[in-house]
Amino acid sequence: MQVYRNIKTYPLRYADFDFKDDFRLSSLLALTQESACASADELGFGYSVLKPKRLGFLVTQTYAKLLRPVSLGSTLTVETWPLPPRHVIFERDYRVDDEKGPVALLASRWCLASLDTFSLCLPEALGDAHANCPYRDEHAVEVPAGKIPRLEEHAPLIRTATVELSRTDHYLHANNAEYADFFLDCFTQEELEKMQISAFRIAYIRQMKTGEQVSYFRVDGDGESTLEARTKEGVAARMQLFFSKR
């Protein structure tokens, strides 16, 4: 029996690369988001189907293992599939290849929520699309155990910023791909020049809405950095970056 997969190919733009000619983490997240949406559309629970029902998928966690650098001029192929839901937890994994082979493996967790009350919904809310979905019980990558560590209340404050309307999506909160840029802006150019990111994970805890003031904190460890975004409502997101030598 053939397993389900959605495969989509993306030519990369100059804008997808940073000042070091490294592939932007935000561009990687944007491509996987695009593939997730395309897959949901063809499986019958995409945005156009859920919007009239006042339902929406919200990402809660993402982990990415970066296997090797992506070059300017490359074309990336993203393969994605949904895993069997567990109560209110929906999972989706990804494999990303360029012309030479694998470059990244990703795993994500999502929740299905009412857009009116933001209460979580069970898979049955999707109706026949859930009942007939060809879920694939296969992980692309092993996710590190445990949660991203919490930072102490008095962790070093790196910067503050406002969530601008240009960074938000149709739910009027910061799009999940933008968080990578938000957190990487907590490093200087000199620090980023010395980094080779080998993996990262993001926990999306609370929506960051248009106009909100966000404070960013950072603590460095041995070969890793942990960052936290806080609004007046509390912790909104955390990111953990893992480094290898350039």
Angle formed at CA 107 by CA 74 and CA 61, multiple of 5 degrees: 115
User: Which pLDDT belongs to residue 168?
Assistant: 86
Report CA-CA distances (Å) from 42 to 49, 129, 169.
11, 10, 21
Tokens representing residue 9 in the block? 């190919």
How far does CA 35 lie from the centroid of its chain?
12
Query: pLDDT digits over 47-59, tens only?
Result: 999 999 999 999 9
Q: Quote the pTM value.
A: 0.94
Confidence at residue 173, expressed as pLDDT on a 0 to 100 scale:
84
| Domains in the chain with CATH codes | 1-143 (3.10.129.10), 147-246 (3.10.129.10)
pLDDT digits (tens, 9 = 90+) for 92-115: 999 999 999 999 999 999 999 999
Q: Are 6 and 79 in contact (CB under 8 A)?
A: yes
Examine the pLDDT at 246 and tell me if it is beyond 80.
no
Question: Using one digit for the tens of pLDDT, what is the confidence trace for 143-168?
Answer: 999 999 999 999 999 999 999 988 98
**Which tens digit of pLDDT belongs to each residue from 37-47?**
999 999 999 99
DSSP state of 134: -
Q: How far apart are CA 63 and CA 107, in angstroms?
A: 5
**pLDDT for 1:** 58
